[in-house]
Amino acid sequence: MIQRIQTIYLLLATIASIVMGLAPLGTIINKETMDQSLFGGQQALPILILGILSGCIAFGSIFLFNNRKLQLNIVRSNAVLIGIFMAVCIYYLVFNSVTKIDLPRPGIVFPFFALVFNILGMKGIKADEKLIKSMDRLR
């Protein structure tokens, strides 16, 4: 249902998740050869897979509006998946011994946007659930 605000938030989370999987996250420098290259989903398959998977889960959860409890659980699991995405990015960019991050690219902020929109979607779903429960009490 497009008129619900959490649908908009989940759609924005979908867009941010797909962009975070495809956009370059930073410039890396090889310490041994001093070669510079962009780092993103095209260079690391786990980052690409996690970004696209997170976007698909967020988009799919939009259509679960009839079952709000399932929708809420899926959105929560997507927030965990985005956290795993951030951990994988930190591993590749910081803890890799061969390369070092030289300059972050604007794509590095999309995981944070995806997480924020995902959390806002969760709050909207919880508000809907609370509203439905209060309406059931009035009957």
Q: What residues make up the domain containing 118?
A: 5-138
Confidence band of 119 (pLDDT split at 50, 70, 90): very high
CA proximity to 82, closest of 57, 104, 99: 57
* CA atoms of 112 and 95, how far apart (whole Å): 20
Q: Which of 53-57, 77-81, 100-104, 126-130 has the lowest mean pLDDT?
A: 100-104
Q: Any residues with CB less than 8 A from the CB of 114 and at least 6 apart, and which?
A: 13, 16, 17, 20, 54, 58, 82
> How many domains is the chain partitioned into structurally?
1
3-state secondary structure of 23: coil
pLDDT of 120 over the 80 cut: yes
Bigger pLDDT: 28 vs 110:
110
**Across the chain, what does the average pLDDT equal?**
83
pTM score, whole prediction: 0.83
Q: For 76-102, write each residue's pLDDT tens digit.
A: 999 999 999 888 877 777 776 555 655
pLDDT of 17 over the 60 cut: yes
Bigger pLDDT: 135 vs 95:
135
